[in-house]
Amino acid sequence: MPVLDIRADVTGKVWKLEAAVGAQLGAGDVVMILESMKMEIPVEAPKAGRLASVAVAEGDSVKEGQVLAKLEV
């Protein structure tokens, strides 16, 4: 199965994980929410698939472009 990287669009902090490893996601489903400059930014699955791994935890600081999770499509 091909694996897609889900990357951060902004530099910020992981505010909340919305999906667990193994979850089946549709395109556009929210995987996690980042907080940046007092704004909540949803990180969405780019395609339908299974969430294979999550590389961050709630409270972690992330940089723009950093891999947050992997999606099996």
Please, are residues 61 and 55 in contact by the beta-carbon 8 Å criterion?
A: no
Q: Summarize pLDDT for 20-63 with one digit per residue, the tens.
A: 999 999 999 999 999 999 999 999 999 999 999 999 999 999 99
Amino acid identity at 19? A
**Who contacts 33 (Cβ-Cβ below 8 Å, separation ≥6)?**
14, 15, 16, 18, 40, 41, 42, 43
pTM (predicted TM-score): 0.94
Instruction: Give the chain's domains with CATH numbers.
Output: 3-72 (2.40.50.100)
Average pLDDT on 14-21 reads 98
Q: Is 12 exposed, middle or buried (0-12, 13-18, 19+ CB in 10 A)?
A: buried
Question: What does the pLDDT read at residue 49?
Answer: 98
